[in-house]
Amino acid sequence: MRPLNFKETLQNDVKAVFLNPAEFGEPHVVNGRKMMAVLDDMEHIEREKRMKSNMDGVYVRQLLLYVASEDFGSLPPQGVLIKLDGQQYRVTDATDECGVYAIMLEVNRSR
């Protein structure tokens, strides 16, 4: 058996390490399908900034969703709506990082 090259090693690490529930991964429902994901919720920092400057009581919640590209499907374009755990979000950016999609999501919220 030949040794794995770097790309193959990264691909194996997507689910074995990064999205592994014993490490970082948590089960989430994305567009009606259950899959392992990592959420980076930046709300606590951004909310404070926006609440101070936005007087109408509405702020934007942003979060970064990491999922395996093979679980998710094709990379979503900007502006597409994604349903995550029952809440609808708009994609503001998405990149493929060696088999893991980093998808920036946002939704308007009120205080």
Q: CATH code at 94?
A: 2.40.10
Which of 90, 28, 20 is closest to 103 using CA atoms? 90
Tell me, yes or no, whether 38 lies in a domain: yes
Q: For residue 91, what are the domain limits?
A: 6-110
Q: Is residue 88 part of a domain?
A: yes
The pTM (predicted TM-score) of the whole model is: 0.78
**Tally of domains within the chain:** 1
Query: Is residue 68 one of the residues assigned to a domain?
Result: yes
Is 70 inside any structural domain? yes
What is the percent of the chain where pLDDT is above 70? 74
* Contact assessment for residue 94 and residue 75, using Cβ atoms and an 8 Å cutoff: yes
Quick one: pLDDT band at residue 60, thresholds 50, 70, 90?
Answer: confident
Q: What's the mean pLDDT when you consider all of the chain?
A: 83
- Residues with Cβ within 8 Å of 73's Cβ and at least 6 positions away in sequence, in order, are none
Domain annotation covers residue 1: no
Asked if residue 27 belongs to a domain, the reply is yes
* Helices and strands (H, E) in the chain, number of each type: 3, 6
> Using the 8-state DSSP alphabet, how is residue 78 labeled?
T
pLDDT computed for residue 57 by the predictor? 65
Residue 80: inside a domain, yes or no? yes
